[in-house]
């Protein structure tokens, strides 16, 4: 069964996405910030995810604390993406965010990453997109 | 206000208001007496005054106190006072007037103190002590000095006037009460024009008065005003009246009869005989090309002072440098330095003397020597006349120095005539400068009226400054909202030193030369920035020459005295020839000051709008999170209802989804403010406008249609461009369609049968058109262009009490403009037709 890694600090806002994942055929793990994610990534005993769903605005945690661009948490997801793309070079990413500029930004840094606004993509639509990426990548 | 406090305070008048050279001193003193002043501080140099005995007779007759003496050198004033000393009174015991000084000079000051004089340190703009901290340092180092605070100079130096008075309250000789208006800015050349009658400026003098009363101050207040556009008596009267209105008792007096006759006749100085063509040249300063103007001035002076050589130097008090403006003959060889430090060269003596000096270039004068040895040898120079050109509004400030190397031993012109010519040159210089300042400031006004965004406005300003200052590059930095960072906001070409990470591309307070100017609030003129203290090269301007030859860094200061930014200019171009003194000078600071005065009010408004837009953006962002939560929850309601085969009685889910879509669409409109100030560009993708984009606008429209009882089937589309995909921002065009549709719904006729909207896409002569027609109430003809302005709501909107903020069509127009298209009312009414025209390039990938 495919493993989905969900990275988002907002529990309440993600409640229904998590419920939809529970109802789906996917396994998933959820992390609230960069510290937990990177602890998981460096552990070689932990399985690699088949897909990552990444939020962008999150608290910087200890890992990115002190970085000027992370002060308001607006760049945490971007920094995390830069760190994850190496160990997860073959893993597809979906960015799920409320940040309107995200599409433009990822167009420049990683055009293959799918960027969706939460307002436009309700939970079951997300499941459908994950399904398409994993099982119909040509679509 | 009353009581013993005001009675103890004594009021004097300073005589500078009557000019640096007195014409009728008797009338002046009579006026001062009649207006009720009790004392006089004399500002004219001794050479301009009546004989000491005559002056004494006048003061004794009018019972005026000779309070203080400002004008002329210390030795000259001391000498005058010796002769003034009343007969029968020992000079040592005589209650002498205090002598004003702007800085400590060991030799002259010791002489004065040894003679029993009180020396009063007066803070003065563009002198070392213009800041309270420096003044306090000097007073601390020399406890024998007294203090003469000046309200205007302290204000201009960003010092706290009340603090200055209280800190040194036991050492006050008197207090100069002076007002200032920012009309002419703060630059070296022009600030003195702003001195005004009491109450006519922006200094809160009432606070000063009430502090003095609270302190039970029983000393002297000296009313001072350096120059006036009115006649001196009127200005004095205005200031006096202000004092009376604020509770200071100064009773007018009747003119006193029997005043001793004054045998004083100021010698009228006539210009030299051949000076008429100089006058002519000077009068036409604005018509002449700058490159040749100063050279021509020298040519004309040499008509009546035949010279082997002559040169004209511009003086900058800020860095003490003299820069060559022109020389005669222009092709003189060998080469010589074109920038000099006034402290090291003979011309510097004229800077300090305020009058023509005759020098021998072969001699050394203390630390000063002649700067051009090779010229001295080649032309066998044995005589030099150095004439300072003084600022018309403040004779303490030297603007230029004229150096003449006469051919003959005997001249047919006197020093006074030369000083008169220098005065004419000063007037011409100020007219020339005024012209440059006005021209630069007007250009900024024009830029401001045409632009409502900070970035575009500042881009225009930097280009204007590059042109006005004739330099290679300009950058404007602004202090951010947190007041901890100085960030580049506009530049003609700025690079950051490679190791500096993107997130660190700003200056902290005091960091580098730029941060230093932010901290000190003082401009920096440097001919070799690399050698300056705190030079860091964190960032630099890219120039064609590749040099870092000279720089000007000036603070952007608002009316409250807070620094809101810094302007940095580099590499001044040579004026006429490569070897003229092409460095930044006080004149450039005056131009920047004039530009700042015009730009700052506009900039502050634009910055406020920008911050407001960003706050709105943060607000909409916050609102989107609960909106997304709502959407997710509805998704699950639908899912569970389906799973459990539950049927609702009404279309609750579709209704919720359509309200959700409408709310999001309205938030998109609000977001547009932030989008605009961030300078975001459209994200272009190939889309089918009517097939892909238009249908998505119908869901958010549903609540509005339901409200009016309209049917969505009355909205029809006609696609005449077929499968042609256009490269547009999909989300933005969704906004366009939604805003146009929602307007059509809002302003439709009441009867649902009459509701009808048609949207057509077509290609006309290589251009793509979207034609939007509705059969509603129409647009008043006079509003057809106004409807696209931000916030505009037509009279119908107010009358029908329809909802809306007047930004929908403005957003549409801005989006179309960003796609290089146009929108206009092409028919009105019935139908009301809006035609959007997009250029043919949007059919192919293009860059916004």
Test B503 with A100 for CB contact under 8 angstroms: no
pLDDT of residue B274: 67
Answer whether B419's CB lies under 8 Å from B451's CB: no
DSSP A49: P
Burial of B426 (0-12, 13-18, 19+ CB in 10 A): buried
pLDDT of residue B334: 58
Answer whether A123's CB lies under 8 Å from A96's CB: no
Test A123 with B664 for CB contact under 8 angstroms: no
Query: What is the average pLDDT across B264-273?
Result: 66
Structure tokens at A116: 């969706």
From residue B149, alpha-carbon distances to B68, B96, B154, B395 in Å are 14, 19, 7, 19
Q: Quick check: B352 pLDDT over 90?
A: no
pLDDT of residue B1: 41
pLDDT of residue B701: 92
Residues from chain B that touch A99, judged by Cβ atoms under 8 A, are 621
Query: What is the average pLDDT across B571-586?
Result: 66
Answer whether B147's CB lies under 8 Å from B132's CB: no
pLDDT single digits (tens) B103-118? 898 989 999 999 999 9
Give the minimum alpha-carbon distance from B350 to chain A in angstroms, rounded to a whole number: 54
For chains A and B, CB pairs below 8 A equal 56
Rounded Cα distance between B249 and B233, Å, is 19
Rounded Cα distance between B506 and B514, Å, is 10
Test A12 with B629 for CB contact under 8 angstroms: yes
> Token match 């402290």: residue?
B343
Please name the residues in contact with B16: beta carbons below 8 A apart, sequence gap of 6 or more: B43, B44, B70, B71, B224, B225, B226, B227
Residues from chain B that touch A107, judged by Cβ atoms under 8 A, are 683
Q: Quick check: B575 pLDDT over 60?
A: no
Q: Quick check: B393 pLDDT over 90?
A: no
Query: What is the average pLDDT across B733-755?
Result: 92
Share of chain B above pLDDT 90, in %: 45
Instruction: Report the residue from A16, A68, A101 with minimal CB separation from B632.
Output: A16
Q: Closest by alpha carbon to B121, among B99, B140, B152?
A: B99
How would residue B2 be classed by pLDDT, with cut points 50, 70 and 90? very low
Structure tokens at A55: 């939020």
Structure tokens at B581: 């003194």
Q: Closest by alpha carbon to A19, among A130, A127, A94, A128?
A: A127
Answer whether A56's CB lies under 8 Å from A33's CB: no
Answer whether B1's CB lies under 8 Å from B247's CB: yes
Give the minimum alpha-carbon distance from A43 to chain B in angstroms, rounded to a whole number: 30
Name the closest residue on chain B to residue A119, using Cα atoms: B628
Instruction: Report the residue from A15, A119, A125 with minimal CB separation from B624.
Output: A119
Mean per-residue pLDDT over chain B, rounded: 87
pLDDT of residue B288: 53
Query: What is the average pLDDT across B92-109?
Result: 91
pLDDT of residue B3: 45
pLDDT top residue among B766 and B35: B35
Rounded Cα distance between B156 and B139, Å, is 20
Residues 43 through 72 of chain A touching chain B, CB cutoff 8 Å:
67-69
Answer whether B452's CB lies under 8 Å from B609's CB: yes
pLDDT of residue B289: 57
Give the minimum alpha-carbon distance from B732 to chain A in angstroms, rounded to a whole number: 12
Give the helix/strand (H/E) hosting B405.
Answer: strand B394-406
Residues from chain A that touch B503, judged by Cβ atoms under 8 A, are 67-69
Q: How many residues does chain A have?
A: 139
pLDDT of residue B5: 43
Please name the residues in contact with B765: beta carbons below 8 A apart, sequence gap of 6 or more: none
Instruction: Report the residue from B632, B634, B671 with minimal CB separation from A17.
Output: B632
Say yes or no: ipTM exceeds 0.90: no
Give the minimum alpha-carbon distance from B616 to chain A in angstroms, rounded to a whole number: 14
Q: Which of A6, A8, A100, A103 to mutate to test the interface with B (most CBs of B within 10 A)?
A: A100
Q: Quick check: B333 pLDDT over 70?
A: no
Torsion, Cα of B657, B660, B665, B667 (10° steps):
-170
Answer whether B493's CB lies under 8 Å from B516's CB: no
Q: Quick check: B6 pLDDT over 50?
A: no
Query: What is the average pLDDT across B523-537?
Result: 86
Query: What is the average pLDDT across B362-371?
Result: 88
Answer whether B144's CB lies under 8 Å from B119's CB: yes
pLDDT of residue B318: 82
Residues 104 through 123 of chain A touching chain B, CB cutoff 8 Å:
104, 107, 117-119, 122-123
pLDDT of residue B576: 42
Test A103 with B627 for CB contact under 8 angstroms: no
Instruction: Report the residue from A67, A119, A125 with minimal CB separation from B664.
Output: A119
How would residue B328 be classed by pLDDT, with cut points 50, 70 and 90? confident
pLDDT single digits (tens) B602-614? 999 999 888 888 8
For B658, how many CA atoms within 13 A lie in the half-sphere containing its CB? Answer: 18
Answer whether A37's CB lies under 8 Å from A31's CB: yes
Answer whether B743's CB lies under 8 Å from B779's CB: no
Name the closest residue on chain B to residue A14, using Cα atoms: B629
- Give the highest mean pLDDT range of B160-174, B641-655, B805-819: B160-174
Query: What is the average pLDDT across B251-271?
Result: 76
B610-619 burial, b for 16+ CB within 10 Å, e for fewer?
Answer: beebeebbee
Cβ atoms within 10 Å, residue B580: 20
Local confidence pLDDT in tens for the 139 residues of chain A: 899 999 998 888 888 999 999 999 899 999 999 999 999 999 989 999 999 999 998 888 888 876 656 656 678 899 899 999 999 999 999 999 988 778 878 888 888 898 998 888 999 999 999 999 998 765 4
Rounded Cα distance between B341 and B583, Å, is 13
Sheet strand arrangement including B357-359: B339-341, B321-328, B307-316, B394-406, B384-391, B357-359
pLDDT single digits (tens) B36-71? 999 999 999 888 888 999 999 999 999 999 999 998
Structure tokens at B379: 């032309």
Rounded Cα distance between B232 and B239, Å, is 11
Structure tokens at B586: 């006080």
For B560, how many CA atoms within 13 A lie in the half-sphere containing its CB? Answer: 5
Helix, strand or coil, per DSSP, at residue A114: strand
Answer whether B124's CB lies under 8 Å from B153's CB: yes
Please name the residues in contact with B604: beta carbons below 8 A apart, sequence gap of 6 or more: B558, B564
Interface contact A12, partner B, CB < 8 A? yes
pLDDT of residue B4: 45
Cβ atoms within 10 Å, residue B535: 16
pLDDT single digits (tens) B406-428? 988 777 788 888 888 888 888 88
Helix, strand or coil, per DSSP, at residue A96: strand
SS3 string of B704-755? HHHHHCCCHHHEEEEECCCCCCEEECHHHHHHHHHHHHHHHHHCCCCCHHHC
Name the closest residue on chain B to residue A16, using Cα atoms: B632
For β-strands B715-719 and B757-764, DSSP reports them as: parallel
Of A17-26, B482-491, B547-556, B650-659, the one with minimum mean pLDDT is: B547-556
Q: Which of A53, A57, A98, A104 to mutate to test the interface with B (most CBs of B within 10 A)?
A: A98
Please name the residues in contact with B188: beta carbons below 8 A apart, sequence gap of 6 or more: B125, B126, B316, B317, B318, B397, B586, B589, B590
Test A118 with B671 for CB contact under 8 angstroms: no
pTM comes to 0.76
Please name the residues in contact with B822: beta carbons below 8 A apart, sequence gap of 6 or more: B816, B836, B837
């Amino acid at each position: 069964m495919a493993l989905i890694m969900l990275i988002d600090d907002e529990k309440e806002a993600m409640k229904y996405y998590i419920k939809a994942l529970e109802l789906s055929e996917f396994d998933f793990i959820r992390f609230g910030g960069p510290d937990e994610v990177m602890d998981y990534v460096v552990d070689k005993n932990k399985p690699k995810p088949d897909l990552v769903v990444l939020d962008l605005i999150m608290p910087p945690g200890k890992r990115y604390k002190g970085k000027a661009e992370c002060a308001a948490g607006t760049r945490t997801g971007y920094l995390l993406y830069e760190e994850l793309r190496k160990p997860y070079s073959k893993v597809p990413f979906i960015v799920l965010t409320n940040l309107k500029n995200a599409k433009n930004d990822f167009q420049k840094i990683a055009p293959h990453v799918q960027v969706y606004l939460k307002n436009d993509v309700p939970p079951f639509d997300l499941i459908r997109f994950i399904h398409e990426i994993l099982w119909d990548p040509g679509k | 206000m009353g009581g013993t406090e005001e009675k103890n305070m004594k009021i004097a008048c300073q005589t500078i208001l009557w000019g640096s050279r007195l014409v009728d001193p008797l009338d002046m003193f009579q006026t001062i007496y009649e207006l009720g002043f009790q004392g006089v501080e004399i500002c004219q140099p001794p050479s301009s005054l009546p004989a000491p005995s005559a002056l004494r007779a006048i003061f004794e007759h009018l019972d005026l106190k000779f309070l203080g003496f400002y004008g002329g050198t210390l030795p000259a004033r001391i000498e005058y006072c010796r002769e003034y000393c009343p007969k029968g009174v020992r000079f040592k015991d005589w209650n002498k007037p205090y002598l004003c000084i702007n800085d400590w000079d060991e030799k002259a000051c010791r002489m004065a103190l040894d003679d029993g004089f009180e020396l009063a340190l007066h803070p003065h703009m563009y002198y070392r002590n213009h800041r309270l901290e420096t003044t306090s340092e000097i007073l601390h180092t020399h406890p024998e000095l007294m203090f003469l605070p000046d309200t205007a100079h302290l204000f201009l130096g960003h010092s706290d006037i009340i603090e200055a008075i209280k800190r040194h309250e036991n050492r006050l000789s008197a207090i100069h009460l002076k007002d200032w208006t920012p009309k002419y800015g703060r630059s070296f050349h022009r600030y003195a024009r702003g001195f005004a009658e009491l109450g006519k400026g922006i200094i809160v003098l009432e606070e000063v008065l009430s502090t003095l009363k609270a302190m039970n101050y029983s000393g002297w207040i000296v009313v001072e005003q350096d120059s006036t556009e009115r006649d001196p008596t009127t200005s004095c009267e205005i200031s006096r009246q202000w004092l009376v209105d604020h509770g200071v008792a100064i009773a007018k007096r009747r003119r006193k009869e029997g005043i001793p006759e004054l045998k004083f006749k100021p010698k009228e100085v006539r210009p030299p005989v051949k000076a008429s063509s100089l006058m002519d040249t000077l009068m036409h300063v604005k018509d002449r090309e700058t490159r040749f103007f100063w050279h021509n001035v020298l040519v004309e002076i040499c008509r009546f002072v035949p010279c082997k050589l002559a040169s004209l130097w511009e003086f900058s008090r800020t860095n003490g440098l003299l820069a060559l403006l022109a020389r005669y003959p222009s092709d003189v060889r060998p080469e010589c330095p074109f920038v000099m430090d006034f402290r090291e060269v003979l011309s510097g003596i004229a800077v300090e003397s305020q009058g023509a000096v005759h020098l021998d270039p072969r001699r050394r004068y203390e630390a000063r020597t002649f700067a051009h040895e090779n010229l001295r040898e080649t032309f066998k120079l044995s005589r030099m006349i150095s004439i300072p050109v003084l600022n018309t509004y403040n004779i303490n400030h030297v603007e230029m120095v004229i150096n003449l190397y006469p051919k003959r031993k005997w001249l047919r012109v006197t020093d006074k005539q030369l000083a008169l010519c220098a005065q004419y040159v000063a007037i011409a210089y100020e007219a020339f400068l005024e012209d440059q300042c006005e021209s630069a400031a007007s250009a900024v006004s024009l830029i401001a009226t045409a632009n409502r965004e900070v970035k575009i406005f500042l881009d225009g300003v930097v280009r204007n400054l590059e042109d006005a200052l004739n330099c290679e590059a300009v950058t404007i930095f602004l202090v951010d909202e947190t007041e901890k960072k100085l960030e580049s906001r506009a530049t003609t070409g700025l690079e950051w030193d490679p190791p500096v990470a993107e997130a660190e591309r700003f200056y902290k307070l005091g960091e580098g030369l730029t941060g230093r100017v932010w901290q000190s609030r003082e401009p920096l003129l440097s001919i070799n920035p690399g050698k300056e203290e705190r030079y860091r090269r964190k960032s630099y301007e890219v120039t064609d020459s590749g040099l870092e030859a000279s720089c000007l860094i000036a603070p952007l200061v608002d009316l409250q005295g807070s620094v809101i930014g810094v302007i940095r200019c580099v590499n001044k171009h040579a004026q006429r020839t490569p070897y003229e003194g092409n460095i930044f000078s006080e004149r450039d600071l005056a131009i920047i000051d004039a530009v700042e005065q015009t730009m700052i009010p506009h900039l502050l408004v634009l910055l406020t709008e920008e911050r407001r837009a960003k706050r709105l953006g943060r607000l909409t962002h916050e609102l989107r999170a609960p909106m997304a939560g709502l959407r997710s929850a509805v998704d699950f309601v639908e899912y569970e209802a389906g799973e459990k085969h539950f049927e609702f009685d009404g279309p609750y889910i579709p209704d919720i989804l359509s309200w959700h879509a409408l709310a999001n669409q309205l938030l998109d409109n609000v977001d547009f403010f932030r989008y605009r100030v961030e300078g975001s560009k459209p994200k272009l993708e190939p889309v089918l406008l009517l097939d892909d984009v238009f249908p998505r606008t119908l869901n958010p429209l549903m609540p509005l249609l339901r409200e009016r009882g309209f049917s969505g089937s009355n909205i029809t589309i006609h696609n005449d461009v077929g499968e042609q995909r256009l490269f547009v921002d999909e989300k933005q065009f969704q906004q366009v369609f939604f805003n146009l549709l929602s307007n059509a719904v809002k302003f439709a006729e009441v009867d649902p049968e009459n509701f009808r909207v048609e949207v057509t896409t077509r290609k006309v002569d290589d251009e793509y058109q979207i034609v939007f027609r509705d059969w509603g109430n129409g647009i008043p003809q006079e509003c057809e262009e106004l409807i696209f302005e931000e916030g505009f709501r037509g009279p119908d909107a107010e009358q029908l009490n329809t909802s809306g903020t007047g930004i929908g069509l403005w957003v549409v127009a801005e989006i179309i403009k960003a796609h290089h298209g146009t929108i206009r009312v092409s028919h009105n009414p019935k139908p009301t037709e809006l035609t959007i025209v997009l250029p043919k390039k949007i059919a192919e990938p293009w860059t916004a």
